[in-house]
Amino acid sequence: MKNINTAYYSMAETSTSTSASNKNMKGSPITNLAPDQLFSILLLLPIDSILAFSMTCKRFKALACSDTLWESICRRDWGPNAVDVLKSSNFQFQQQWMRLYRQISKLESVSCHKMTYPDGEFELPKPRASHSLNFVSDCLVLFGGGCEGGRHLDDTWVAYIGKDFEKMLKWQKVNSGLPSGRFGHSCIVIGDFLVLFGGINDHGSRQNDTWLGQVTRHETLGITLSWTLLDVGTIAPPPRGAHVACSVNNKFMLIHGGIGLSGLRLGDTWVLELSENMCFGTWREIVTCPSPAARSGHSLTCIGDSRVVLFGGRGVGYEVLDDVWLLDVSEDILKWVQIQYELPNIPGGVSLPRVGHSATLILGGRLLIYGGEDSYRHRKDDFWVLDVSAIPSISMQPTTLNSKEILAKMWKRLKASGYKPNSRSFHRACADHSGRYLYVFGGMVDGLLQPAESSGLRFDGELFLVELVLQL
């Protein structure tokens, strides 16, 4: 503490710059604050205020643009995990955190890469849709899904990815039989566990069982995955498929809607809480009013800070939806809040309504929305970024967003370069550690499988990579 006194005196004594800076030095005590204290103030400010501060004078420009500060800002806005992963990865950004932050905010395009497989006789997963694809314990895990003829699959496939993205992948089939075959199930990651729920089998039976999956890597045995049925007691959500689920704060699983018994679309919200030892789970229903209408094939994604975003899907009247809902799980009284917006005011917004799309959290805390189909069953190949943080907290109350500026930040269509994958719906996507790469597998694409196939449907078996383009 005493050092501040001496710093003050030495600055005043050694200052030999222009008269303007001298004026600044002697006239304002603000310049006597140590960088750490100034950083404490700056870290409480939104980005534009930090940059306004940096434009006041040369000294503060140097301070407010320092990478020490911006690493803390990245930690604050993206979470410590994302920053640690970036630091330990091979990504070349020379620790220029301010530049990286800007590039992520200004994200304009993605680049797609076709995956390659090593030479030799390796079995690959069959083409499928409505399967589950997750990134857990440095591995990509694929389970189940529906394939040609409307049949279900019950196979589990694992591919080791490691700490950096790979364009060459080796799939390994690790299990068959358990859990029972199904499609339209949900599967999320909590810690090192996969949590799988529900789904439909090819007899049309809806399930409501919950399974835990854990990956193990042996030196000699390679990769194995064990699935165990979770004991949830007597209370469980009604059976369903084509519902959505997401993990919240790496502790809870939240599910919504789907198609239940008798083919009825559901609009209920349930939370699963797991015991410390992961041996027992407790389900409870969250009843709020208003709440998102009943639907299937929508998306539910956690954007950090206990907040989840629900988007799109197909409603009870078979209509394809485009509404966005937000739920903050940390609040005392849980309530779904709809973020209303005017579609015509968004450039290209007419293509937003969709079902069977994927919504994945990417670096920077935003959602990457890809694919899906519209009410005419036309499949899509567009990429959109949904930014819910752009909405001022005031409009957590239901209001309609008309300001073109705010809308421009909320929905942004990205350009896509590189490999052009087929338009698809009911595919699955998941991000890797860094949040800069998305793996996409399968789904329904256009094209005839056989001349006899009149529906024009084809199940896809392709795995491709989507990269966020950062021009550093």
Partner 1 sequence: MKFCTVKQYFDDENNNNVTNGIATTVIPLPNKHLKIKANNKEMEQYEQELLRNVMPQELTKLILAANYLNFKEALDFFCRTVANAIQNKSVDYVRKFFGLESDFEPGEEEKLCKEFAWSFEGVDED
Q: Does 404 bind partner 1 (CB under 8 A)?
A: no
Binding residue for partner 1 (CB under 8 A) from 10, 11, 12, 28?
A: 28
Rounded to the nearest 5 percent, the helix, strand and coil shares of the chain are 20, 40, 40
Q: Does 46 bind partner 1 (CB under 8 A)?
A: yes
Q: Does 44 bind partner 1 (CB under 8 A)?
A: yes
Burial of 109 (0-12, 13-18, 19+ CB in 10 A): middle
Q: Which stretch binds partner 1 (CB under 8 A): 20-28, 195-203, 273-281, 322-330?
A: 20-28
Q: Which stretch binds partner 1 (CB under 8 A): 28-36, 171-179, 235-243, 249-257?
A: 28-36
At its nearest, how many Å lie between partner 1 and the CB of residue 330? 17
Q: Does 217 bind partner 1 (CB under 8 A)?
A: no
Binding residue for partner 1 (CB under 8 A) from 15, 21, 72, 338?
A: 21
Specify the residue, 107 or 188, whose C-beta has the smaller distance to partner 1: 107
Specify the residue, 45 or 271, whose C-beta has the smaller distance to partner 1: 45
Specify the residue, 55 or 452, whose C-beta has the smaller distance to partner 1: 55
Q: Does 48 bind partner 1 (CB under 8 A)?
A: yes
Specify the residue, 274 or 362, whose C-beta has the smaller distance to partner 1: 362
Cβ–Cβ under 8 Å, residues 112 and 415: no
At its nearest, how many Å lie between partner 1 and the CB of residue 77? 12
Q: Does 105 bind partner 1 (CB under 8 A)?
A: yes
Cis peptide before 118 (omega within 30 of 0): no
Specify the residue, 17 or 68, whose C-beta has the smaller distance to partner 1: 17
Give the residues across from 362 on adjacent strands. Answer: 366
Report 128-187 residues binding partner 1 (CB under 8 A).
none
Q: How far apart are the C-alpha atoms of 218 and 202, rounded to whole Å?
A: 35
Sign, CA dihedral 223-226-227-233, equals: negative
Q: Which stretch binds partner 1 (CB under 8 A): 15-23, 225-233, 361-369, 455-463?
A: 15-23
Specify the residue, 17 or 88, whose C-beta has the smaller distance to partner 1: 17
Q: Which residues contact 191 (CB under 8 A, 6 or more apart)?
A: 250, 278
At its nearest, how many Å lie between partner 1 and the CB of residue 55? 5
Q: Which stretch binds partner 1 (CB under 8 A): 37-45, 190-198, 278-286, 302-310?
A: 37-45
Q: Which residues contact 141 (CB under 8 A, 6 or more apart)?
A: 132, 133, 134, 135, 156, 157, 158, 194, 213, 215, 225
Binding residue for partner 1 (CB under 8 A) from 10, 11, 12, 30?
A: 30
- Nearest CA to 308 out of 340, 276, 363, 271 is that of 271
Q: Which stretch binds partner 1 (CB under 8 A): 54-62, 158-166, 279-287, 340-348?
A: 54-62
Measure CA of the first residue to CA of the last residue in the chain; give whole Å: 40
Q: Which stretch binds partner 1 (CB under 8 A): 98-106, 128-136, 300-308, 441-449?
A: 98-106
Q: Does 24 bind partner 1 (CB under 8 A)?
A: yes
DSSP code per residue over 228-254:
EE-B-TT--PPPBBS-EEEEETTTEEE
Q: Does 76 bind partner 1 (CB under 8 A)?
A: no
Binding residue for partner 1 (CB under 8 A) from 126, 335, 377, 409?
A: 409
Q: Does 23 bind partner 1 (CB under 8 A)?
A: yes
Helix, strand, or coil (residue 182): coil
Q: Which residues contact 224 (CB under 8 A, 6 or more apart)?
A: 174, 215, 216, 218
Q: Which stretch binds partner 1 (CB under 8 A): 24-32, 114-122, 311-319, 432-440?
A: 24-32
Specify the residue, 41 or 316, whose C-beta has the smaller distance to partner 1: 41
- Per-residue CA distances from 24 to 12, 29, 32, 36, 317 (Å): 10, 9, 10, 19, 67
Specify the residue, 20 or 448, whose C-beta has the smaller distance to partner 1: 20
The two structure tokens encoding residue 45: 């400010």
> Judging by DSSP bridges, how do beta strands 411-418 and 109-114 pair with one another?
parallel
**What residue type is assigned to position 300 of the chain?**
L
Q: Does 332 bind partner 1 (CB under 8 A)?
A: no
Residue 59 φ then ψ, to 5°: -60, -40
Q: Does 27 bind partner 1 (CB under 8 A)?
A: yes
Cβ–Cβ under 8 Å, residues 434 and 82: yes
Q: Which stretch binds partner 1 (CB under 8 A): 22-30, 199-207, 236-244, 451-459?
A: 22-30
At its nearest, how many Å lie between partner 1 and the CB of residue 408? 9
Q: How far apart are the C-alpha atoms of 141 and 430, rounded to whole Å?
A: 10
- Nearest CA to 140 out of 225, 255, 251 is that of 225
Q: How far apart are the C-alpha atoms of 353 and 366, rounded to whole Å?
A: 18
Q: Does 330 bind partner 1 (CB under 8 A)?
A: no
Binding positions for partner 1, rule: CB under 8 A: 1-2, 4-5, 8, 17-18, 20-21, 23-24, 27-30, 32-34, 37, 40-42, 44-49, 51-58, 60-61, 102, 105-106, 392, 405, 409
